[in-house]
Amino acid sequence: MNKRQYSYSRLDLYDRCPHAYKTVYLDGIPRARHKARERGQILHGMVADYLNRLITLGLATDWDWARTAAPEGAIADVAEIWGRFYEGFVLPSGLEAPGVERRLAFDRIWRPVKFDSKRARFRMVLDFHFRQNGLGVIVDWKSSREVPQDVAKDLQLRTYAWGLKQALYQDIQEVLLRLHFLRYGKEREVLLMPQDLADVSDELDARINVIEKDKTFDPVPGSFCGMCGVTSHCPVMAQSLVPVEVAAPASREQAQKAASLLLTLQKMEKELASRLKEWVKGNGPIQVGDLVYGPKQSVSYDFDPKLVITALLETGLSREEVWSLLSLNKTNLERGLGKLNRKDLINLALSLGNVKTLEKIEFHKAKDTV
Ligand code: SF4
């Protein structure tokens, strides 16, 4: 694998764990299968085929085709997410210069080159792009479970916008980035101005320089370990407890060893956790990469059903409406009042509960430390 090939996802993998980056991109070891990644790839392919079809045939929708598009044996929720997408998606008419899964590449001094050019150093793929009234628009399909309230102008989004302008629509000033969350049919947008794109190539150069100067590619264990896909090639994991042949068994004998080790670990886990909790109580939290093992607080409410029901009836809600809120807990109350379009009553309802603060010692992201 050529050491000098980059993309945003490669820079991102290096950021999360240099050793994982080296294993995958310099040593050429393929990542183990990961459901979320596979789901994303399948959905991106389906959406791209659908868009190409709509654009070529000049259609706004094609449900007959879309109904048959989900591949047989696809991961469980692919068909469900796909259905939600095509039933809510209408291709706008009159798109200027649209492109689907457009592959872009740039050389060492950031000049656009062919995607398969030997001079290509940095590559990117734009999910869907078009022009609209002098504006460049990029639609990025997301299959993740989280939908942020606001979209940050992070380097990844600025890189896509910069690439669009640099390689395809040189005359545009602004780029609208639209994130389409396939799972929920929701969209978030952010408008990138010329000043947001001015330093993108310098920032990418700086990130690439760090990688090229790295001689050790040290592993950084943390919350990403479950997703890196190269755990069985990781020295930290190998040194911890599990020999490589047990972590990734290839024969029945190794699988047998893996099963007995798993059983031992499950039995040890309780014991280990209880001793570690005692230690943490006396000596404070322990940091492991970007995770902290230590106390985390959560709040729960104890409701007196009679009190809450009386108070809600007094606000004018009908008995049937209040009835639907029973099983009283905070989540049900919030959801139920939301469905009734009475979010204004949430604070009143919560004020009637006894607040209990619970503290659990567990792993959580370092930023959540209390
Ligand atoms: S298991 Fe963790 S530390 Fe090891 S390569 Fe993967 S991400 Fe890095």
Residue type at position 276: L
Question: Is the CB of residue 137 less than 8 Å from the CB of residue 94?
Answer: no
- pLDDT at position 247: 67
Which atom in ligand 1 lies closest to the alpha carbon of residue 221?
Answer: 3
Rg of the chain (C-alpha set): 26
pLDDT averaged per 10 residues, the chain (length 370): 81 96 94 86 94 95 91 78 92 90 97 96 97 92 88 95 96 95 92 96 97 94 84 79 67 80 73 83 86 84 79 84 69 78 83 76 68
- Report the predicted TM-score, pTM, of the whole model to 2 decimal places: 0.71
| Domain layout of the chain by residue ranges | 6-212, 246-275, 293-368
CB-ligand 1 contact for 54 (6 Å cutoff): no
Question: Is the CB of residue 24 less than 8 Å from the CB of residue 13?
Answer: yes
CB-ligand 1 contact for 220 (6 Å cutoff): yes
- pLDDT at position 51: 96
CB-ligand 1 contact for 231 (6 Å cutoff): yes
Atom 7 of ligand 1, nearest CA residue? 225
Look up tokens 């449900």; give the residue: 63
DSSP state of 227: T
- pLDDT at position 370: 44
The 10s digit of each residue's pLDDT in 244-280 is 566 677 888 888 777 777 776 777 677 778 778 888 8
d(CA 3, CA 163): 22
- pLDDT at position 326: 65
d(CA 168, CA 136): 10
Of 15, 19, 239, the one to substitute when testing ligand 1's pocket (max ligand atoms within 8 A of C-beta) is 19
What dotted CATH number matches 6-212?
A: 3.90.320
HSE-up (13 A, CA, CB side) for residue 91? 26
Residues whose CB falls within 8 Å of the CB of residue 301, separated by 6 or more in sequence, listed in order: 329, 330, 350, 353, 354, 355, 356
Question: Is the CB of residue 97 less than 8 Å from the CB of residue 131?
Answer: yes
E-assigned strand segments in the chain? 6-7, 96-106, 112-113, 122-132, 135-142, 175-181, 186-192, 286-288, 291-302, 354-365
Question: Is the CB of residue 305 less than 8 Å from the CB of residue 352?
Answer: no
CB-ligand 1 contact for 291 (6 Å cutoff): no
Residues whose CB falls within 8 Å of the CB of residue 59, separated by 6 or more in sequence, listed in order: 53, 91
The 10s digit of each residue's pLDDT in 318-369 is 877 776 666 667 777 787 788 788 888 888 878 877 777 777 777 777 765 5
d(CA 82, CA 77): 8
Dist. CA 121 → ligand 1 center (Å): 26
Give 90: exposed, middle or buried? Use CB within 10 Å, 0-12, 13-18, 19+. Answer: exposed
Dist. CA 245 → ligand 1 center (Å): 17
- pLDDT at position 108: 95
Phi, psi of 153 (to 5 degrees): -80, 70
Burial 294-308 (b: 16+ CB within 10 A, else e): bbbeeeebebeeeeb
- pLDDT at position 93: 85
Look up tokens 């230590």; give the residue: 294
Question: Is the CB of residue 18 less than 8 Å from the CB of residue 218?
Answer: yes
CB-ligand 1 contact for 51 (6 Å cutoff): no
Question: Is the CB of residue 293 less than 8 Å from the CB of residue 273?
Answer: no
- pLDDT at position 324: 66
d(CA 327, CA 27): 55
Residue-level length of the chain = 370
CB-ligand 1 contact for 143 (6 Å cutoff): no
Dist. CA 230 → ligand 1 center (Å): 7
